[in-house]
Amino acid sequence: MSSSKVRVAVVGSGLIGRIHAAAIAEVPAAQLTVVVDAFEERARALAQQYGAAAEKDLAVALQREDIDAVHICTPSGTHAQLGIMAAEAGKHVLVEKPIDIVLPAARELVEAAARRGVKLGVVFQKRFTAPVQRIQRAVQAGEFGRLIQCDAYVKWYREPKYYSESPWHGTWQMDGGGALINQGIHMVDLLRWVGGPVRSVFARRRTAYHAIEVEDLIDALIEFQNGALGVIQASTALYPGFPERLEVHGQRGSAILEGSEISTWAIEGQEQEKLGAGLPTGHSDPGAIGHKGHVPVIADFVAAIREGREPLVNGEEGLETLRLVMAIYRSAQEGQEVRLPIPDDWVPQPRV
C-alpha cells in the first residue's frame, strides 16, 4: 500500500458524493474506482465523469478487489450501518459527518473498525484549515493565557424547499435532529477541539421558522473542564445567513474566526495576524462549499492508510463530537443541565 494508490469507492452520488469525487481527483495517492448508489443512472453519470465503475448495491461492490477504502456519503442515519458493512469487508472507512445520528450505532462502527483492523475517519474538514490550526496551536501553547470564553455561532439560513424537497433532511429518523447535528456540528467539533473537553451543557431549542419535526434554532451554554464558559448557537432560520464564527478569549488576548478567515487576532505583545483559507461557506447555500476543503481530509486519510497511523479525525474523535451534540439535545429535551460524558445508550426522543 505504501507505493500504490488507495482505490476508493464513494457510496452516495448526491451533493456530498460529488464533492468527494472531485476531491479524490486532486489527491495523487487516491483513485476513485467505484461509485455506489441505488439510483443507477446518477451513479453511472458520476462514475463516467471520473473513469470509474458504477454499482447499485454496496454488498455487491464490497466483493470487488479494486476497493481499498469506502467513503460514506449517504443520509446521516445510514452512516454507521453502511460503514460497518464496509469495515466488516476489510475496507477502510471515511464517513461524512456526523459519524451517525445516535451514539449506540456510532460506537458499533468504531468497534467494528477496530475489530477488523481498518482505519476509520470522520469528515470534519474545518480542522484542516491553516487558520483553525493556528488558533488551536496558540491555545495549546498558552498564547491566549488561561481560557475564559470560547464560542461557536452558526447563524445560517436554509430556504423552506431545502427541507420540503428532501426526503430526509429535517427528520429525526435520517437527519437525527436539525440545525445542530447537520449544519452546526462542524463548529461544535472545532469548539471541542480548540477549547478542550466539556464538563456540562444547558440548552434550549425551537422550531422557529421551518415546517419540520426537528430544531432550526438551538442555543447552549457550556462549561469546559478548564473552567472557561462558552456558547453554541446553531440555526437554519436566520435570513439571509451569516458566515459561521469561532471566538476564543483568554487572559492575554482573543481570536475570532469568521468563515475560514481570522478576522481578529489580538494577543498582548503580538502583531495582528491575518490568515485565511479562502474557502467558501455554506451559510446561505449548501452547495456553495465546493470540494477544496475535502482535499486535505482525504489526503490525510489516504496517508493514514499508507503509513499505518490514525487519521487526524478518527472514529473516537467523531464519537466524542457526537456525544457533545447528544448532551445538548438531552439538555434541551429534559430542560436541565447535563454533565458529560453521557452514556453511549442515550438517544434523543422526538417531540410529539
Tell me the pLDDT band of 10, cut-offs 50, 70 and 90: very high
SS3 151: strand
Residue type for position 279: L
310, 92 in Cβ contact below 8 A? no
- The pLDDT assigned to 271 comes to 73
Is pLDDT above 90 for 284?
no
- The pLDDT assigned to 276 comes to 67
Which fold is adopted by the domain 6-124+293-313? Rossmann fold (3.40.50)
- pLDDT tens column, 108-152: 999 999 999 999 999 999 999 999 999 999 999 999 999 999 999
- pLDDT tens column, 31-44: 999 999 999 999 99
Is pLDDT above 50 for 269?
yes
- pLDDT tens column, 221-255: 999 999 999 999 999 999 999 999 999 999 999 99
- The pLDDT assigned to 270 comes to 83
- The pLDDT assigned to 237 comes to 98
- pLDDT tens column, 293-303: 999 999 999 99
Is pLDDT above 90 for 26?
yes
DSSP per-residue codes, 160-188: HHHHHT-SSTT-TTTTSSSTIIIIIHHHH
CA dihedral over 278, 282, 288, 290, signed as positive or negative: positive
Per CATH, the homologous superfamily of domain 127-265+276-286+320-339 is Dihydrodipicolinate Reductase; domain 2 (3.30.360.10)
Mean pLDDT of the region 192-215 = 97
Tell me the pLDDT band of 166, cut-offs 50, 70 and 90: confident
Nearest residue to 235 via CA among 154, 176, 327: 154
Domain segments of the chain: what residues? 6-124+293-313, 127-265+276-286+320-339
- The pLDDT assigned to 2 comes to 46
- pLDDT tens column, 308-336: 999 999 999 999 999 999 999 999 999 99
CA distance 169 to 173: 9
- The pLDDT assigned to 285 comes to 66
| pLDDT over 70, % of the chain | 95
324, 188 in Cβ contact below 8 A? yes
- The pLDDT assigned to 42 comes to 96
222, 200 in Cβ contact below 8 A? yes
- pLDDT tens column, 68-119: 999 999 999 999 999 999 999 999 999 999 999 999 999 999 999 999 999 9
Tell me the pLDDT band of 349, cut-offs 50, 70 and 90: confident
CA distance 74 to 94: 12
| pLDDT over 90, % of the chain | 90
* C-alpha cell at position 94: 471515511
Mean pLDDT of the region 190-203 = 98
Q: What angle do CA 316, 346, 217 make, to 5 degrees?
A: 90
Phi, psi of 189, rounded to the nearest 5 degrees: -65, -45
- The pLDDT assigned to 286 comes to 72
pTM score of the predicted model: 0.94
b/e per residue 99-125 (b: at least 16 CB within 10 A): bbbbbebbbbbbebbeebebbbbbbbb
